[in-house]
């Protein structure tokens, strides 16, 4: 056996062990079978069956399962989304970033028109926040700030979105990248000047 064969077998063994461990640790914890009572007394079993049926009928609410930290009840009833809609997104930071390159950022940006409706809605929402902040900082009106381009960047972080805007503010061209936390809606803005 050469070294590559041994490494291949070791990799297969490791993946097998990881798979088995995954099935073991992520299996339902409460999947314990109850022993069936075998009794000749029909009255006792009829009483037990009626008690079980009555207790199930009395309970209108089915307890929500929690899977990997996600509350299924919140997903089905939308209770968490109602809370986040009441939270006004907060600007956490607004910083000049020399490392933000306009040409590269715009090259990797997914165009606004190619995005789904919910993303377009989010882009418009955060665009208004950024325009209001720029107008406040520069003393210009919102109408004096022109949107040249907008879109989104793919994010490797779950629950995080990056929206990109290219603005014309007076004679200046600025690129703004908004990083949003999709759970709370709070956001950070990095910006730099661009040419053209």
DSSP 149: E
Span between the terminal Cα atoms of the chain, in Å: 63
HSE (side-chain half, CA atoms, 13 Å) at 125: 16
Tell me whether residue 71 is in a domain.
no
Is 42 inside any structural domain?
no
Considering the domain boundaries, does residue 116 fall inside one? yes
**Spatial contact of 189 and 133, defined as CB atoms under 8 Å apart:** yes
Residue 33 inside a domain? The answer is no
Residue 130: inside a domain:
yes
Residue 113 belongs to some domain of the structure: yes
Per-residue pLDDT of the chain (196 residues; tens, 9 = 90+): 788 898 889 989 988 888 888 777 776 654 555 555 554 555 555 555 556 555 555 544 444 444 445 555 554 544 444 444 567 899 999 999 999 998 898 899 999 999 999 999 999 999 999 999 999 999 999 889 999 999 999 888 777 889 999 999 888 899 999 999 888 889 999 999 986 4
The total of other beta-carbon atoms located within 10 Å of residue 184's CB is: 14
Domain holding 125: CATH number? Answer: 3.10.450
Answer yes or no: are the C-beta atoms of 113 and 152 closer than 8 Å: no
Question: In the chain, how many domains are there?
Answer: 1
| Residue 26 covered by a domain | no
Cα atoms found within 13 Å of the Cα of residue 47, Cβ hemisphere only: 5
Residues in the chain: 196
Distant-in-sequence, close-in-space partners of 96: CB < 8 Å, separation ≥ 6:
190, 191, 192
**Inside any domain, residue 23:** no
Q: What pLDDT sits at residue 80?
A: 47
Range of the domain at 99: 89-194
47 three-class SS:
helix
């Amino acid at each position: 056996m050469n070294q590559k064969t041994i490494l291949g077998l070791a990799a297969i063994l490791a993946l097998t062990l990881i798979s088995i461990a995954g099935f073991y640790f992520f299996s339902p914890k409460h999947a314990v079978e109850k022993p069936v009572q075998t009794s000749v007394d029909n009255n006792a079993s009829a009483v037990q069956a009626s008690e079980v049926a009555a207790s199930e009928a009395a309970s209108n609410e089915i307890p929500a399962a929690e899977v990997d930290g996600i509350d299924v009840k919140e997903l089905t009833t939308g209770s968490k989304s109602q809370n986040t809609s009441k939270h006004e997104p907060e600007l956490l930071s607004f910083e000049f970033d020399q490392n933000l390159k306009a040409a590269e950022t715009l090259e990797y940006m997914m165009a606004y028109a190619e995005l789904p409706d919910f993303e377009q809605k989010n882009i418009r929402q955060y665009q208004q926040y950024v325009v209001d902040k720029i107008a406040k900082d520069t003393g210009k009106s919102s109408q004096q700030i022109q949107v040249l381009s907008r879109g989104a960047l793919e994010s490797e972080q779950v629950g995080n979105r990056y929206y990109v805007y290219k603005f014309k503010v007076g004679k200046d061209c600025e690129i703004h990248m908004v990083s949003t936390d999709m759970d709370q809606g709070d956001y950070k803005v990095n910006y730099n000047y661009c040419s053209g």
